[in-house]
Amino acid sequence: MNSSLYECRVMHHRLAPKVHHFHYRIFMFAFDLDEIDALAARIPFFSHNRANLYAFRDRDHLTLPGLESASTKENVVAWLAQHGVAFPNGGRILLVTLPRVLGYIFNPVSFYWCFDAAGEPLCAIAEVGNTFGETKPYLLSDRQGERGFSLVTPKHFYVSPFSALDLSFDFLLRVPGDRLHVRIDDLNGGDRVLLTSLVGRRAPLTAMRLALYSFKYPLITFKVIGLIHWNAALLFLKRVPWHRKADNAALQRGVLNPHASLTGPTQ
């Protein structure tokens, strides 16, 4: 199987307007989207589209309007076609993400790597999420040799109340193997104002390994959302400027599952 786990270290380092640094350790799933049902049959506490300790639900990942009942792979292929990328027969998609844990899901960002039938990387997608339940996928098709895929693009998405909407993302997604390496920086003009990295080491996705990580990193989705709110409180106490979601709605574009604060052409 191509599916696996990654034991990861996440780092955030804010440079402006005030310095703030934190890091934490988690584990993430790397799903070959053709193997979800086989994994559910093999691992007793993992399920596909039904409740369990860990559950992969297709509606949680890059779901397009009108394709809510389709599989995640079908949605990704349809989204790629909308953006001019033809996904080949026999190709595969590797999704690095968190599934539901005891029914709860939250992913600050999920990553898709798309491969052709020969196993050659075609492109990557970074699907960024926020605490309003919105997501926005970004297509990375600029191949940087062995370094993977890169993209510098306007955010046009409300990620954090402590980040302005007119910033840009600078993505670098290395093609995963034994190691996982992702970098996402926030740019204000030519200046980096927030550095974020995700690095991990690959491990087999087995029932025994998943049980081990469940004890080592319990309730992982709850940990992630808890740390986000804890660090938001620290930033508030540091008097970092706050941006309301309802402000600058016109700069929130291409959003999936849009919140009520977005209406009309800004969706």
Q: pTM here? A: 0.94
Catalogue the E-assigned strands of the chain: 4-14, 20-32, 46-48, 54-56, 92-97, 100-101, 109-115, 121-129, 135-140, 142-143, 149-154, 168-173, 179-188, 191-204
pLDDT at 265: 45
Quick one: pLDDT at residue 91? 95
pLDDT at 1: 61
C-alpha closest to that of 95 among 157, 212, 4: 4
pLDDT digits (tens, 9 = 90+) for 205-246: 999 999 999 999 999 999 999 999 999 999 999 999 989 998
pLDDT in tens, 90-132: 999 999 999 999 999 999 999 999 999 999 999 999 999 999 9
Enumerate the H helices of the chain as residue ranges: 36-42, 72-82, 207-216, 220-237
Peptide bond into 65 cis (omega under 30): no
The whole-number pLDDT of residue 147 equals: 74
- Using the predicted structure, report yes or no on whether residue 263 has a pLDDT greater than 70: no
Give the whole-angstrom CA distance, residue 117 versus residue 188: 39
